[in-house]
Amino acid sequence: MGEVIPAVVDVQRFSLHDGPGIRTTIFFKGCLLRCAWCHNPEAIRREPEMAFHPDRCAGEQRCAAACPRGAILSGPEQRIDFTSCDACGRCADACHHDALRLIGRRYAVGALVSEIVKDRDYFEESGGGVTLSGGEPTLHAAYLGALLPRLAAEHIHVVLQTCGLFGWDQTVSLLPWIDLVQFDLKHMDSAAHARLTGAGNERILENFARLAESGVAVEPRMPVIPGLNDDPENVRATARFLARHGHRTLRCLPYHDFGEAKLSRLAPILAPLGRPRLDPAALAPFTHRFGKEGIDVVVCD
């Protein structure tokens, strides 16, 4: 069998919030969770897909002439019949206004390494490197197994961002090549976790415990969603879980609604959460509760 090449949403350069230093963040497509607050809904599905930006559309209908499947609609807000679209990208090529976009490009390992090493000077100057994000990068363990040794040979620092829902046997072989794992903990109660993300948390918590024992550097993180996971009971349970596994610091990511603007551009996958973005300053009571439990909180902008 040939190399299975995952789709990549974006190669985002000059990232400042995805690990130490200046980083190049690779957003892989594909995720097993369906978090109600997802910031990157365009990375949930594994395969490339089309997105429509109505604010950019000039109504010239070049896309309709280019589409071989008759999947272009005439409505002002919805241009794509997603039931017919196969994401060939011809409509995007025909559009002069960037209103239609193909989300997901496949990079062979060598091609992706070539993209990453373009930023080597920034990595060396800032102590940065590459961050593997998504979606869920561990879905592509075989690909990462080929990519990571190449990055190590280039002496590039690697951060893995994960939701924690992965097969341990497929992931453990990657750990020697990873410098830091940023691991999201969303809710300690499995039933609540399932309501909010579409899956329980048993495997996630087990994987965190295994990572804590493995010796790899782990940075626990928590997206803070007002009214969903910021209650005192969940704070106490999270704090005790962290302490049990040798962690006394938690990075918190205040909820923002940037992902909601993307939902209407894609084939339906999530409903808008409809909550205002969270001002980091409003987290003072939350961080105080963690402090009482012996956990220091770092609030990320």
pLDDT digits (tens, 9 = 90+) for 80-139: 999 999 999 999 999 999 999 999 999 999 999 999 999 999 999 999 999 999 999 999
Structure confidence at residue 281 (pLDDT):
87
- The residues, ordered by sequence, that sit 6+ positions from 194 with a Cβ below 8 Å of its Cβ are 200, 201
Domain ranges for the chain, please list them.
Answer: 7-46+104-299, 49-103
Name 159's Cβ contacts closer than 8 Å, sequence gap at least 6.
Answer: 18, 19, 20, 23, 129, 130, 131, 132, 178, 179, 180, 181, 182
Q: Which residues contact 13 (CB under 8 A, 6 or more apart)?
A: 24, 119
Single-letter amino acid code for the residue at 130? V
Greater model confidence, 280 or 191: 191
Overall average pLDDT of the 196-204 stretch: 98
Question: How big is the chain, counted in residues?
Answer: 301
Q: How far is CA 77 from CA 16, 74, 260, 264, 266, in A?
A: 34, 9, 16, 9, 12
User: How far is residue 24's CA from residue 132's CA, in Å, rounded to a whole number?
Assistant: 9
Assign domain 49-103 one CATH number from 3.40.228.10, 3.30.70.20, 2.40.50.100, 3.40.50.11610.
Answer: 3.30.70.20
Nearest to 291, CA basis, from 221, 225, 243: 243
What does the block give as tokens for 187? 């809710």
CA 162 from chain centre, in angstroms, equals: 8
Higher local confidence (pLDDT), 238 or 281: 238
Beta strands in the chain (DSSP E): 7-15, 23-28, 49-52, 100-103, 105-106, 129-133, 157-162, 180-184, 218-224, 249-254, 296-299
Mean pLDDT of the region 55-73: 94
Q: Do residues 93 and 130 touch, judged by C-beta distance below 8 A?
A: no
Beta bridge partners of 296: 249
In the CATH scheme, what is the code of domain 7-46+104-299?
3.20.20.70
**Whole-model pTM?**
0.95
Q: In the predicted model, is pLDDT for residue 3 greater than 90?
A: no
| Range of lowest pLDDT (11-15, 141-145, 163-167, 281-285) | 281-285
Range scoring the smallest mean pLDDT among 7-16, 69-78, 207-216: 69-78
pLDDT of residue 1: 39
